[in-house]
Amino acid sequence: MPKEYNIKPFRSSIELNIDYESELNAQQLAAVTATPGPALVLAGAGAGKTRTLTYRVAYLLEQGIPIDRILLLTFTNKAAKEMMERVQDLIGGDTSSLWGGTFHSVGHRILRRNAEVIGYPSTFTIMDREDAKDLMSMACTDAEIDTKATRFPKPDLLCDILSMSINTGMNLERVMQERYFYFENLTEDIAKVHDAYSKRKKSNGVMDFDDLLNQWLRLLRENNEARDYFQTKFQFILVDEYQDTNQVQCELIDQLGNRHHNIMAVGDDSQSIYSWRGANYRNILEFPERHEGTQVFKIETNYRSTPEILNCANAVIAGNPQQFEKKLTPVKKNGMKPALVSCNDANQQAEFIAQRALELRDEGILLENMVVLYRSHFHALELQLEFTRRNIPFTITSGIRFFEQSHIKDVAAYLKVVSNQKDEMAFKRIVLMLPGIGIKSADKLWKLYKAALEDEITLKPDLAKIIQELTRSVPKKAISEWEQFAENVSQLEDGQNKGPGHLIRLVVAAGYEDYLQNKFPNYYSRLEDLEQVAGFADQYETTEEFLSELALLSNLDSETNRDTQSDPEQIRLSTIHQAKGLEFEVVFVMMLCDGLFPSKRAIESPEGEEEERRLFYVAVTRAKTELYLSYPLMRFMHGSGGETFQQPSRFINEIGNVLVEEWNLQSFDPYG
């Protein structure tokens, strides 16, 4: 019987001359110099997470670990670039051999080398979103689904449904029940489409974005040779923002680390805010259970915020029962207490934020060092108007201003047609939303409609009648929707004297809500937007007044966009989700009312409320020196007959009066 003899790898250590003890605090040092084995690093907001990760890479290199045996995974290209640059600066050498990047970029690299093993050509192409939508449309045809005969999800939404199923590990039935219940009766047909879509991808030799992870996982599950190779290769795996991992990403990491068990997961369970896109915060909570012998490190020293701001953050997050207990401690000296500002209504809240921002600018704080954070885009509706009126330059992180979003412009088009019968762009926008009508048909129908208008001798022609008479010129598959269009216009004409808010609600109720369901994955939030726009429109007596305000905003938007090329100084408006990872000298958090933040839907479940609390924690911890928390006492609520009293957010109550300074707003007219 042959004797077994183990070859121990030769470790050629390198000397980087890094003084870890002087460059890191005690908590960071403990994580960086951790012994091999699974490790969970709980790095609080502003605690130097990136620093810890980069120094860990350097430390491993000093221990003789070859650079190509280290895998560093991030979520965004920006984070990956920053991390790789920091590593390179730290070690002062070539880092091209380091396996670092986003989950998707690493997945692509591995699949490019191993695609044939799972039945794909090595020359496979990656579809962008538009290509994926086109292929999904073809899959509908393959599955023999008559999308015109029934209210069926659009290809874009079908892509999102499939993506949610893959990334959460939930079967389609459960996804439909929990996320898209209004299409639950179509589950069987949607499954057929998804199956046809998968077959199309394989026959065409293409992958979508989700496949870069899903097929990578399949490779590791089904191919022993590939699994053994990569498990052996990656001796140390470092994962950034681990709390944001979904089911597929979590299993990928577990699979890759199953031989050496040297997984270091870095994250903060208190900043897990992406369940809506498939992230599962339980991945970080259950990490020690899945990986026996896990060392847990807490990095709680905060270099960003004042003690007063951190006191608020700590007080709020303490309300979540499911978390790793930790408490951020500040390095900075004392500052001002966060201001708690109660406002009469949303307009006064906007006035306060605008005025205070200008005052702070006069005191020497640049606008670019300020941010206004909100739960949903519609919360900043009045604020955008106020900033525009005062010529305060601002940018919106999403890139699309509230009134420029497609669903807002869709509904506005109906009002424009009724207000100005000759508005060609508005007419065509509506017509092109109808199934079975393309650009050529829309052009033809516009010409017929315009000719009919010109034949009318009255100043106020009956639009509904004209539209109804054009039915014979409409493609057969669009006739029923065209007749509904005529009926909608008839209702709008009859209701014109009731104001623009009433008209918006009519459009939504008359079929646009169904259109939203079919087309958009975030149907609820868009519907919520429209409810708020209707409330906002109620303050205008006429439709023309309201539409003029929208046009003014659009024109000023375009001017602002041109100006930003030469003048970068502008205050940022952002949802909290889009501000994660950023920091500002001054932070305004607005619309802190129960039902708005936390949102009404979130309050309905304990897990939903906990995620909202984590979201508030993220908002608060973006602030470095000054924090303003504001809420309106009154807000228009549809169905209540007008304005109703608002309850301050439960998160404000959780902070307590001791930790904030209450500001009472007073109206002052120097000429009064």
Residues known to be catalytic: 49-50, 240-241, 271, 622
In 305-459, where does DSSP find H-type helix? Answer: 307-317, 346-362, 381-389, 406-419, 424-433, 439-455
The answer to whether the beta carbons of residues 633 and 344 sit under 8 Å apart is: yes
Residue with the two structure tokens 């029923």: 480
Structural tokens at position 313: 């953050």
The answer to whether the beta carbons of residues 467 and 489 sit under 8 Å apart is: yes
The answer to whether the beta carbons of residues 485 and 444 sit under 8 Å apart is: no
Residue of 162, 158, 167, 163 whose CA lies nearest to 136 = 158
The 8-class DSSP code of residue 511 comes to I
Give the sign of the dihedral formed by CA 109, CA 112, CA 113, CA 114: positive
Amino acid occupying residue 459 = L
> DSSP string spanning 25-84?
-HHHHHHHTPPSS-EEEEE-TTS-HHHHHHHHHHHHHHTT--GGGEEEEESSHHHHHHHH
SS3 string, 183-209, reads HHHHHHHHHHHHHHHHHHHHHHCEECC
User: What span, in angstroms and rounded, lies between the C-alpha atoms of 672 and 277?
Assistant: 53
The 8-class DSSP code of residue 238 comes to E
β-pairing verdict for 329-330 and 584-589: unpaired
Contacts of 543 by beta carbon, 8 Å cutoff, 6+ apart: 415, 418, 419, 496, 499, 500, 503
